[in-house]
Amino acid sequence: GDDLLIAVNPDSEHILDTFQENFSQLGLNYTFDTRTRDITEVWFMSHRGILREGIYIPKLEPERIVAILEWDRSEKPEHRLEAICAALIESWGYDELSAEIRKFYLWVLEQEPYNTLSSKGYAPFLAETALRKLYLDITPEPTELERYYQAFSMKNDVPDPQKVYFQSGVIDAGKNETSAKKDKKPAQSPSQDEQGASSVPEQERDKDVVASNGTISVPKIKPMSSKMRLPKVRGKPTLNLTHLITYKPIQEEIANTRSTVEEFDRWYTGLMDAYGVNADEMAVIANGLLVWCIENGTSENLSGNWTMMDGEEQRSYPIEPVLKNASPSFRQIMRHYSNVAEAYITMRNAEGPYMPRYGLQRNLRDMNLARFAFDFYEINSDTPVRAREAHAQMKAAALRGVQTKMFGLDGKVGSSSDDTERHTSDDVNKDMHTLLGVRQM
């Protein structure tokens, strides 16, 4: 810029009085009227120095820092949060402004969609100790860091369970009765009426009260009610309830959207024979095929070759044996790799942004759903509702306007027929008996 900053010894301040005339002789129009003896009042390139714990730190004007908050042209919510953090970094040194920005940041995190990002851990946080380390290069003491630990602990701690006793000790409900019987042993045996009266409380005692300890037992119910109506053949149930209670297969193993284990074994073995490789080499080829299918899909209309990378070199393999050996369909075969493909996409996103081509074609914007963006993903009970909806929408978009014809044109069969129509010379032409079908009178 055109800012000019000159520092002189206070004893030689008088030389500044002649600078304006000397500079004008060089064609430079400068005035030297703005003078100060306080370094914190010196502005240069929109910055000034603020004394903080014995160190002068450069600071922008507060108005320029507020302008960072007002400038909102970000495309993603994450960028808006980053701008607020940038303003918070620039404001350190202005205590009042920093406090107001922190209040504003707290309010923003309570609004949509920022509260969703905060719940997922995507909202950055700048501690006071981090800013002091940035500006003053002062390493925080363990006692300072302990304050943050205590704050998080108080927020996340679950209160310990409290044991409450409603009586002192365990009461034996039959103890008094036993001692009373012992006291009555030497005495005369009770009459029939007395025996009947003494037996009444025993019969009317609540079944849920255990006389040995005086506690209440919780009733147990069966997993399946005996009143449940079962289909029967010749009076015998057609189901084994004992086995049914313990029969809890993995959901994906019995789904008809995935090929059976036998069909998968036949496909894998057939592919090994077609490529002429052993088991170890086939495992490497399967890695490349998995990643290729994540990007290009598992359509039955695939043709030509599929490729994988060997370092910088590209290797091609024919796709025909992959589809030929797949039964009932290639997509049902690849669903065995669904969980591995999901983990692979998650790993790639941990290193950097990665969206499979299936998601890019559908313009999927949420990177959190990238691990579901491939056409052989296997939906199960653990799939989030939002992911199920996104996958269904992508599948509907992929199948829009697709028509599959079962039969093509049969070139062997022609549409020949005999013309049995008879015409005379009175007809209008060879195809019409009368003019427009009207008989002439």
**pLDDT at residue 311 tops 80:** yes
Average pLDDT over residues 413-417: 64
**pLDDT at residue 290 tops 80:** yes
Residue 120 lies in a domain: yes
**pLDDT at residue 233 tops 70:** yes
Cα–Cα distance measured from residue 271 to residue 262, given in angstroms and rounded to the nearest whole number = 14
pLDDT at 220: 73
Residue 243 — φ and ψ, nearest 5°?
A: -75, -35
Which has the higher per-residue pLDDT, 217 or 260?
260
pLDDT in tens, 28-86: 888 887 888 877 778 777 788 888 888 888 888 888 888 888 777 777 888 888 888 88
48 three-state secondary structure: strand
Average pLDDT over residues 155-169: 56
Residue 293 lies in domain:
254-398
Q: Kindly state whether residues 132 and 262 are assigned to the same domain.
A: no
pLDDT at 63: 87
Q: Kindly state whether residues 129 and 258 are assigned to the same domain.
A: no
pLDDT at 84: 87
Residue 199 lies in a domain: no
Residue 218 lies in a domain: no
**pLDDT at residue 211 tops 80:** no
**pLDDT at residue 238 tops 80:** yes
Return the sign of the alpha-carbon dihedral for residues 223, 225, 229, 231: positive
Highest mean pLDDT pick, 20-24, 316-320, 419-423: 316-320
pLDDT at 336: 94
Mean pLDDT of the residues in the chain: 80
**pLDDT at residue 191 tops 90:** no
Residue 174 lies in a domain: no
Average pLDDT over residues 105-113: 87
Q: Which residues contact 337 (CB under 8 A, 6 or more apart)?
A: 290, 293, 376
Domain finish residue from 140, 168, 186: 140
Which has the higher per-residue pLDDT, 423 or 110?
110
Residue 37 lies in a domain: no
Residue 268 lies in a domain: yes
Q: Indicate the burial class of 65 (C-beta count within 10 angstroms; 0-12, 13-18, 19 or more).
A: buried
Average pLDDT over residues 206-221: 62
Q: Kindly state whether residues 261 and 390 are assigned to the same domain.
A: yes
**pLDDT at residue 397 tops 80:** no
296 three-state secondary structure: helix
Residue 55 lies in a domain: no
Span of 20-24, 291-295, 405-409 with lowest mean pLDDT: 405-409
The residues that bridge with 302 in the sheet, in sequence order, are none
**pLDDT at residue 439 tops 70:** no
Q: For 64-91, what is the HEC assignment? A: HHHHHHHCCCCCCHHHHHHHHHHHHHHC
Residue 124 lies in a domain: yes
pLDDT above 90: percentage of residues in the chain = 20
57 three-state secondary structure: strand
Which has the higher per-residue pLDDT, 90 or 207?
90
**pLDDT at residue 151 tops 80:** no
- What is the gyration radius of the CA atoms in the chain, in angstroms? 43
Cα–Cα distance measured from residue 305 to residue 331, given in angstroms and rounded to the nearest whole number = 17
Burial pattern 1-30, b for ≥16 Cβ within 10 A else e, equals eeeeeeeeeeeeeeeeeebeeeeeeeeeee
pLDDT at 241: 82
Reported confidence tier of residue 321, pLDDT bands at 50, 70, 90: very high
Average pLDDT over residues 265-272: 94
Span of 12-16, 237-241, 309-313, 436-440 with lowest mean pLDDT: 436-440
Average pLDDT over residues 432-438: 66
337 three-state secondary structure: helix
**pLDDT at residue 401 tops 70:** no
Q: Please state the domain count of the chain.
A: 2
pLDDT at 251: 86
Residue type, 98: S
pLDDT at 2: 67
Q: Kindly state whether residues 261 and 394 are assigned to the same domain.
A: yes
Tally the residues of the chain.
Answer: 441
Q: What residue has token string 């359509």?
A: 299
**pLDDT at residue 195 tops 50:** no
Q: Indicate the burial class of 223 (C-beta count within 10 angstroms; 0-12, 13-18, 19 or more).
A: exposed
